[in-house]
Amino acid sequence: MKNFYHRTWAEINLDVLKKNIDIIRSYAGDKDIIAIVKANAYGHGDAETAKALNNCGVKHFAVSNLWEAQNLSSAKVEGDILIFGYCDVPLALENVDKNFLFTVGSVEYAEELSQAAVSAGVKVPVHIKFDTGMSRVGITTGEEADRILALPGLECRAGYTHFAVADSLEKEDEEFTQLQYKRLSDICRSRNIPMHVQNSGGILFHKGFDADFVRAGIVMYGHRPNIEYPLPDGIGSIFSLKSVICQIKTIQPGVTVSYGRTFTADKPTRLALIPCGYADGFNRKLSGQWNVLVCGKPAPVCGRICMDQTLIDITDIPEAKIGDVVTVYSNETYGGSSIDHAAEIAGTISYELLCCIGTRVPRLYIENGEEKDLLRYL
């Protein structure tokens, strides 16, 4: 293992990422993939993930804000980068020479951007965002689209919307997704505007939609858009969170454990301490409800997960010793110690757990079955 503090780390398997992209392509058909790498590529490391995707032939990316786009550009990621969120007009003009695409979500913003672009003598490449049912960012009518398309200084590259319930197969939700698609398609196709509409749920469950791009997010990382529906065969999680045993002690019946004394031993209990806590991304709601893996065997979390440390019960794993690797979240796609299963227990979604992996957690990248790169933030 490459030299780093042997504490807690995440392993990102780029071989599995490549397999996932191949399967997504089989669903996307002739549509190009826009890889969603916002929020540090959902906690996986944005630049490293994007460069691995470049190696898979992916040339379109999307992020949340200008700073994320600049990070990819500085890392020499190849391809265009769509910025989903608001970008201050002067900052957009400062970065118009880069491979960035800016989202226009209102006529007012488009007019402001157009005026600045004309004054600067430049063309700003944009994607128009349509609100077709999320009630979030976007215009809603063809008339608004025409006003934006007529503005000088802007070059419209595509129009897009975001599905609200594409990850659901309930009849009402499927009908609403169809309605959202029709609202966008009616406007874009009649104006020859390229479009993208399918997020991860749309890719998996609505692959017949006619569009020019698909946006691969959580499914690309190997997790379910909706916990109720399994992933296609072959798609795997590229993420695991690991730590080590740093101390072992045996406590006697009646002894309590961790903050709040929520766990009381009812027999002699062999406890192991791991230097991994909620500041590293080990969700506190899993306290007393989660099994990590030690020597390939489940070890229950005892008491509350702390900020920096967690105690686990290794009574039934006599071979466990100081220095042994502990898998906190495994790369299973579901069940056992997977991120998706952890999210279900914690009452949240895999997206949140992945995005909450802390900056003090190094990311170790695996490629061709070997350790490739180590990303440290601190």
**Residues marked as catalytic:** 38, 259
Residue pair 199/162 in contact (Cβ under 8 Å)? The answer is yes
Please tell me the distance from the alpha carbon of residue 133 to that of residue 131, in angstroms, as a whole number. Answer: 6
Nearest to 37 by CA among 16, 58, 18, 19: 58
Helix and strand totals (H; E) in the chain: 11, 20
Nearest to 228 by CA among 307, 170, 161, 310: 170
Residue pair 272/299 in contact (Cβ under 8 Å)? The answer is yes
H helix intervals, 37-106: 38-42, 46-55, 66-74, 89-94
Please tell me the distance from the alpha carbon of residue 3 to that of residue 7, in angstroms, as a whole number. Answer: 11
Nearest to 27 by CA among 225, 236, 201, 227: 201
Please tell me the distance from the alpha carbon of residue 239 to that of residue 241, in angstroms, as a whole number. Answer: 7
